[in-house]
Amino acid sequence: MPPRTMPTERQKRLGAELRKMRTAAGASTDYAARLLGIDRTKISNIESGVRVIAPDRLRTLACNYACTDEEYLSALEVMATERHRGWWEDFRGTLPPGLLDIAELEWHATRVRTSQVTHLPGLLQTEEYARSIFGAVLPPMPRLEVELRVAHRMQRQQVLEGDKSLDYLGYVHEAALRMQFGGRKVTRDQLNHLLLMSERENVALHVLPVETGAFPGAGHAMLYAEGPVPQLDAVQLDLAGGPSFLHADSQLARYRVHLDWMEHAALDPVRSRDFIRTVTHDL
């Protein structure tokens, strides 16, 4: 199979895990190349996600790296054998790759936890609310670009429905509830939609009131996606230059602590719904 020109974040993650496994074993790229009977540059390409790796070769490397975690290896095998075309691929070439990577990350997650300060959670947004957010970007985006992003955001929400029914836990700061993107009516409709979604068994919302005071983080949106095994968890941050993806052990530990703080400081789901109703009434 020819090398990929633009590997997805998930493909790069598989390569990163193989590199982490190799360095933990103290093995060189030359050693890995000899194991597979290939040139060392191909090992580098595999570890960067540019080249695919067959499951049997993945197992050969893992065996010689003395990795015996069967759950972890089985999860990596699944990543190595994926050939299906996700719905987000319909947007390839029309939207930034990072947006597609977010959709793929959510699709393969076993649970998602988010922290929002300015915007309400993307997976729970209405079309008009999303359209008002994308319409506020500077410099302004063309109308088609805005509509493509809205369509993509709406399709992302299918992970909460049907057979997927992804478990979703969201921490929303009061500031995000009161920001009137699109005006009063759009915001009121959005908050009512938020209340409706929060009644689902797989969706839990926790509000962080402003009276809580200081909170951890820089105020940017954060998504923590749990993988099939803890080693494959990932964090996605919304930054000015586009989405950033993190998965180093220290980074995952940091954001787990962040979310644990939110868990203790925020209102429980019942009181959060009451709080959202109060804000809605104020509109």
Q: How far apart are CA 247 and CA 230, in angstroms?
A: 10
What's the confidence (pLDDT) of residue 241? 82
Pairing of strands 222-226, 203-208: unpaired
Listed in sequence order, the DSSP H helices in 96-237 are 97-108, 127-135, 143-156, 174-178, 184-198
Q: Is the pLDDT reported for residue 1 higher than 60? A: no
Residue 3: band (very low, low, confident or very high) from pLDDT cuts 50, 70, 90? low
Segment holding 35, helix H or strand E? helix 29-36
Q: How far apart are CA 205 and CA 196, in angstroms?
A: 11
Domain count, the chain: 2
What's the confidence (pLDDT) of residue 216? 83
For residue 54, what is the domain's CATH number?
1.10.260.40
Residue 185: band (very low, low, confident or very high) from pLDDT cuts 50, 70, 90? very high
Residue 75 CA: distances (Å) to CA of 44, 110, 139, 204, 282: 21, 12, 42, 27, 48
Q: Which domain holds residue 126?
A: 87-282
What is the per-residue pLDDT across 14-67, written as a single tens digit (0 to 9) for each? Answer: 999 999 999 999 999 999 999 999 999 999 999 999 999 999 999 999 999 999
Cα three-residue angle 169-172-173, rounded to 5 degrees: 155
What's the confidence (pLDDT) of residue 239? 87
What is the per-residue pLDDT across 191-241, written as a single tens digit (0 to 9) for each? Answer: 999 999 999 999 999 999 999 999 887 678 999 999 999 999 999 999 888
Three-state DSSP class for 164? coil
Question: End of a domain among 61, 81, 101?
Answer: 81
Three-state DSSP class for 54? coil
pTM: 0.95
Q: How far apart are CA 263 and CA 266, in angstroms?
A: 6
More confident residue, 70 or 4: 70
Residues 194 and 247 in one domain: yes
| Sheet order of strands, 222-226 included | 203-208, 167-173, 111-116, 222-226, 234-239, 242-246
Residues 48 and 126 in one domain: no
Q: How far apart are CA 198 and CA 202, in angstroms?
A: 8
Residues 23 and 162 in one domain: no
The mean predicted confidence, pLDDT, of the chain is 95
Least Cα distance to 191 among 56, 96, 282 occurs for: 282
Q: Is the pLDDT reported for residue 154 higher than 80? A: yes
Please tell me whether the peptide bond between 139 and the residue prior to it is cis, using omega within 30 degrees of 0. Answer: yes
Residue 136: band (very low, low, confident or very high) from pLDDT cuts 50, 70, 90? very high
Q: Is residue 3 part of a domain?
A: no
Residues 19 and 92 in one domain: no
Residues 132 and 270 in one domain: yes
Residues 77 and 102 in one domain: no
Q: Which long-range contacts (CB under 8 A, 24 or more apart) does 52-57 make?
A: 52/1, 52/4, 52/80, 53/14, 53/18, 53/80, 54/80, 55/80, 55/81
What is the per-residue pLDDT across 161-178, written as a single tens digit (0 to 9) for each? Answer: 988 899 999 999 999 999
> What is the rounded average pLDDT of the residues 106-113?
98
CB atoms within 10 A of CB 177: 25
